[in-house]
Structure 1
C-alpha cells in the first residue's frame, strides 16, 4: 500500500493517473457526447501544470492534444462554442510545451519551484534570528520589503561567538530593491552568515569584500554595518562599509549620536580598509543599526532623515523598548524601498 502511494506521488505515477483521467473523459464523450463537455479533457492538464516536472509536462501536454483530437472526432455536431474551446485548448497546450522548454534550466514544476524559493527566503530570515541572550540584553530586528514583496535586498545576520560571550550583528543592504535584489541577497546572506561566525571581527569585512569581488555580479556591491558586542562588559566594535551611520543613545543624557567609522562599499575596491569605532553600552544605552530605506527619501538630505528617525524612536520609547524595531520600521522610511532595522539595548 505504501509503495503504491509513493508511486502515485511520483511524477510518473501522477502523469499516468492524469492520463487515465483524460482517457476516461474521452470514453465518456464517446458514450454520451452531448452530456460530457469536451473541455473536461483540459482538467488533467491544469493539474499537471501545477505538479508535474518540466521533463514530463511537455509529453503530457502532447498527450492532452491527442486526447482533444479524439474528443473532437467524437463530437456529433460542431457548434461554434465547441470549436472555439478546442482552438483555445490547443493553443494553451502549445504554450505549455513552449514554457516547459524554456524552464528546462530550472528542472522543477511551478509549485516545487515556489516552495524552494520560500525555503530560501526562510533561510534568509533564519540568519537574522537572535540567539538566546542574557536577561540584561534586548536585541530585536525588523524587515520590510519594497511593495510588500516577500523577497528583499536588505537582511540581518546574527550569531553568537566566543562561547556565547559575544554577539555578532550585521545589517546588509544589497544593491537594488525588492525581488530584483532578492536573489543576490539569498546567496550573500548564506556567505555572510558563515564568515561572521568563523572569522574575528576585524577580518569579516575584508573577507566579505573579497567574496563579492569574486562573484563579479553586474550589480555586485552592498553596504553593511557590523557590530560585535561583548555581553559581559558592554564594549563593542563597530565597522561600516559605505553604510548609513549607526546611532547610539546614551541613557544618562538621553541624547542620540551618530557613529561614523569609515569604510568603502563592499564589492568595489580590492584590499579595502575598514575603520573601527570602539565604544561601550552602559546599562540603559542602545544602538540602532538600519538601512538607507529608513532615512532616505527623494529630495531630502540623509541627515534630516536620520534626525527624523531618532525623533520617532524617542517618541516611541515612551512606551517600551520591547517591539521598538517593528514599530519604528512601520513609522519611518519609504514603503517604496527595502527597510531593515536592528535594535540593541542593554537593560538598566
Structure 2
C-alpha cells in the first residue's frame, strides 16, 4: 500500500528540519556579516581586478542569500548590494555598465518580494524548504491505510496539478471495531498548489480525528461544520466517505458534492455507478444532509473512488468524463490486476488539476 515507506524518510526530514531551523535561527547575524564582507571584497575586486571580478557577481550573493536568510536579514543585504552597485556606478567603475546595474537592482527587489511571500506562509530561509517537505510527508502519512485482513487491499494514486509538491486532493483512512471496519474518506479541496496543500494538511489532521471519533453517518456533517468554522475565503471541499464491514464485505457510502463511486462486479464484469450526488459540498451551507447508499463487495469486486480532476473534460460535461473513466476501468480492472496508476494513465486526464484514484479490492 502506498505511503508505508514514508515513515523513515519523514523522521529524517523532521530531524533535518529541526536542526536546520536551530542553525539558521542562531546564525542569521553571522551569515549577514559574511555576505556583507563578501560584497565589500567584491567591490575591491571590481576596482582592482575587473577582469576577474565582474559586477554581475552581486547576483550570486543575492541567490545565496535567498536560500539562507530571512526577510529582515535579506533586506539588509539587499540594501548593502544596492549601495555597492550604485556606489561603483558613481565611482565610475569601467565594467559596471547600465544593464548590469538595472539587472542587479531588479534582482534585489524581486528577491525581497519573494522572501515576503514566503514569510507570509511561515517559510523563512533554508529551513522553510525542509518544512515544506515535512508537511508533504505528514499529509501522505494521514492517508496511510492500516493493516487489513487477508483478501483486502487498498491502492491509491494522488497526483498534483503540474506536478507540484502539494495537492488539494487527499485521503484519510482508519479502522475501528477492532479492525473489522475500514473507513476511507477522499477529499478534494478547492484551489491548487501550496495554498490548497496547506488547507489539505489542516483538514486531513482534523478529518483523521473525526473519522475515528464519530459514527459514520455523522462524519460529513461534522466535517462540514469544521470547514464553516474556518471561514476561509476559498473554503469549500468535496468529499466521499466509505465504510466497509470487512468480514461480510458490506459497505456504506455517502458523498458531499463529490463524483460518485464506481463498483466493478467481478462475477458479471458489470460496472455500477453508485450515485450519491445531491448533497452540497462541504463548507457551503450549515444545514448539511446527505443520502447514503449501501452495497456489498463480493470476492473479486473493486470499488473505485476518484476526484473530479480525473473526469473533467474541456468543453464537455462531467457525465462524459465519468463514461470515459468507466470505459478505462472496464479495460484496466477487469482482469483483476489493474492499479490506480494504470487507471490514471488510461484516462489521460490533463495535468492542470489535482487528480486522485483510490481502489478498494476484495480478493
TM range (shorter): 0.7 to 0.9
2:355 maps to 1:339: yes
Q: How far off is 1:26 after superposition?
A: 3.4
* Residues 70 and 124, structure 2, Cα contact 8 Å, conserved in 1: yes
Identify the residue that residue 246 of structure 1 maps to in structure 2.
Answer: 261
Q: What TM-score do the two structures reach when normalised by structure 2?
A: 0.81
2:75 maps to 1:53: no
Q: Greater CA deviation, 25-34 or 59-68?
A: 25-34
Identify the residue that residue 116 of structure 1 maps to in structure 2.
Answer: 131
- Alpha-carbon displacement from aligned partner over 1:260-290 (angstroms, at most 9, x marks no partner): 3453322222232223323222222221111
Identify the residue that residue 329 of structure 1 maps to in structure 2.
Answer: 344
- Alpha-carbon displacement from aligned partner over 1:211-238 (angstroms, at most 9, x marks no partner): 1111223332222111111222222221
* Residues 144 and 329, structure 1, Cα contact 8 Å, conserved in 2: no
Aligned residues: 340
Identify the residue that residue 255 of structure 1 maps to in structure 2.
Answer: 270
309, 331, 338: which is aligned to 2:325?
309
- The alignment yields a C-alpha RMSD, in angstroms, of 3.1
Q: What SS class does the counterpart of residue 10 from structure 1 fall into?
A: helix
* Residues 325 and 341, structure 1, Cα contact 8 Å, conserved in 2: yes
Q: How far off is 1:136 after superposition?
A: 0.6
Larger radius of gyration: 1
147, 151, 154: which is aligned to 2:162?
147
Following the alignment from structure 1 to structure 2, what is the Cα–Cα distance between the partners of residues 212 and 8?
A: 34
Structure 2: 5+ residue stretches without partners = 1-21
After TM superposition, list the pairs within 5 Å mapping 1:156-305 onto structure 2: 156-177=171-192, 181-261=196-276, 263-305=279-321
* Residues 296 and 333, structure 1, Cα contact 8 Å, conserved in 2: no
- Alpha-carbon displacement from aligned partner over 1:46-83 (angstroms, at most 9, x marks no partner): 2112210112111122223344456557x7x6436545
* Residues 153 and 173, structure 1, Cα contact 8 Å, conserved in 2: yes
23, 30, 34: which is aligned to 2:40?
23
Following the alignment from structure 2 to structure 1, what is the Cα–Cα distance between the partners of residues 343 and 52?
A: 61
From the superposition, tell whether residues 331 and 20 of structure 1 become closer, same or farther in structure 2 (CA, over 3 Å): same
